[in-house]
Amino acid sequence: MKQKMFTLFAVAILFAATTADSFAQLTKIWEINKNGIQSYSPNAKLAYAFPLLMDLTNGDTIAIVNGPDQIILDNSGKRYFTINKFSKTLKVYDRYTNEFIQDLVYRKYLLGKYVVNDSIMFEFEDNTGTYNFWNIYTNEIIDSYKLQSEPDEPNLTPTGDTPILKDGRYFACNTLLKSGISDIRKFIIYDRKTKEIIFSKIMPPNHDVLVQSFMHRSNQMAFGEVIKLDGDDKPYSYIRIFDLDKREIIRNVRVGEENEKVRHIVIRMDDSFILYLNTTLLYTNFYDYKNDRKLSFKITTSNTPFYIDDSLYVSEYPFSAYKIDWTTVGVEDEPNPNIPIIYPNPTTNSINLNIDEKFYNGQWQMIDLNGRDILNGIILSNPQLQIDISNLPSATYYLRLTNGKEIKVEKVVKW
């Protein structure tokens, strides 16, 4: 029987919108006092946070496990697996009825976030430094890969995040080489079809893993890197797009300064948006991948997202889910179209604003193209407002007006 383990909230959290044509609204639909997502199935909208298997769409508990049992999810969401390393048992259950289906052969080195293609899992053998890919139902080894490079590195072991098998072909994992002097960590992608490494990245010091995420509908990967590219005056923080089929970087998106390293990446299920967090910024940023542009609105909560589609945003710390309402806001007709909202624009010193009375006692924010709050203040009950921007660097900014319910954004150019 399903058990509801959540509380409905009526509080809505607004995106800090800085585009003149759109904003989104988040409404919390459930929250559970659980930390640490041990596995989740994006396609099925399921997550396992010990000891609960949960439906991400509503917070319902699908199954509860006892003691040392852990749950591993399949990709489709039709089944789930429980594993107990003490009793050495592996069982499969129906996700909808929780009925036991069958016992499976227990594997000592079982490893995986979820079952790939509903039948393939992978394990790592420490003594041989080898990943084995096997059919969970037949217990047949169908492929294997020994962690190595040129020259051979016998001390190479997995580290950090659980490996990923992309579309059953591309195997990606973070590795650790204990060299005796200093540990070397690197991220690799192995093509199981051609039997070769197609991507290898050595991690900088103090980096345990490569911050990356695979696209859902294409063989591409987004990863964070601080690098000085051709034409740059210094290193910057980038999200780089690697095409697994072409085996090359196809896009570089600058997302911050050198100290603003990308610390988390999540890609929407339709691949249209990339969500990312920087080390110095405590909110989630959006990059429109389809139109190759950074969006100027952001989610001002500091929760780390791990799953998102076009209507659902799920995050950790605390474990919670939000409904996303995307709203298109057209340019409003002004009472007198001959009077500009902001003037002079462009400007070198200050800007003057004609304020609609509905924004009285609200707030204004000056935001840069990276979504950072540069200046802010209270809107008094006065139709005229002057803001001094003489100390700001010459650049394009966005001025955001809000009264808590409505948002209006205008572009400001400082010479």
With a cut of 80, say whether residue 51 has pLDDT above it: yes
Give the DSSP letter of residue 290: T
With a cut of 50, say whether residue 8 has pLDDT above it: no
**Per-domain residue ranges of the chain:** 342-414
Q: Which residues neighbour 345 within 8 Å (Cβ) at sequence distance 6 or greater?
A: 351, 411, 412, 413
| Mean per-residue pLDDT of the chain | 80
Taking residues 370-381, what's their average pLDDT? 81
8 Å CB contact between 278 and 288: no
8 Å CB contact between 394 and 4: no
Percent share of the chain, pLDDT over 90: 21
What is the structure's pLDDT at 157? Answer: 75
Q: How does strand 384-388 pair with strand 100-104?
A: unpaired
What is the structure's pLDDT at 241? Answer: 97
What is the structure's pLDDT at 21? Answer: 34
With a cut of 80, say whether residue 280 has pLDDT above it: no
pLDDT in tens, 91-109: 999 989 999 999 999 887 7
8 Å CB contact between 367 and 387: no
How far apart (Å, rounded) are the C-alpha atoms in residues 340 and 90?
A: 69
The more confident residue out of 170 and 369 is: 170
Distance from chain centroid for Cα 378: 33
Q: Which residues neighbour 208 within 8 Å (Cβ) at sequence distance 6 or greater?
A: 159, 160, 174, 185
Work out the end-to-end distance of the chain between its first and last CA atoms, rounded to an integer number of angstroms.
64
Residue 182: pLDDT band (50, 70, 90) is low
| pLDDT winner (highest mean) among 230-244, 310-324, 377-391 | 230-244
Q: Among the listed ranges 116-120, 155-159, 223-227, which one has the minimum average pLDDT value?
A: 155-159
Residue 411, H or E segment: strand 407-414
With a cut of 90, say whether residue 232 has pLDDT above it: yes
The more confident residue out of 151 and 99 is: 99
Class of domain 342-414: mainly beta
| pLDDT winner (highest mean) among 220-234, 281-295, 366-380 | 220-234
Taking residues 239-250, what's their average pLDDT? 96
Q: Which residues neighbour 107 within 8 Å (Cβ) at sequence distance 6 or greater?
A: 90, 121, 123, 134
Residue 26: pLDDT band (50, 70, 90) is confident
| pLDDT winner (highest mean) among 61-75, 86-100, 104-118 | 86-100
**What's the half-sphere exposure (Cβ side, CA atoms, 13 Å) at 242?**
19
Torsion angle, CA of 165/169/172/173, rounded to 10 degrees? 70
Residue 346: pLDDT band (50, 70, 90) is confident
How far apart (Å, rounded) are the C-alpha atoms in residues 302 and 284?
A: 7
357: helix, strand or coil: helix
Residue 348: pLDDT band (50, 70, 90) is confident
Name the burial class of residue 141, with classes exposed (0-12), middle (13-18) and buried (19+) by CB atoms within 10 angstroms of its CB.
exposed
The more confident residue out of 222 and 364 is: 222
With a cut of 80, say whether residue 9 has pLDDT above it: no
Q: Where are the extended beta strands (E) located within 126-260?
A: 130-135, 141-146, 156-158, 164-166, 170-178, 183-191, 196-202, 212-214, 220-227, 236-243, 248-256
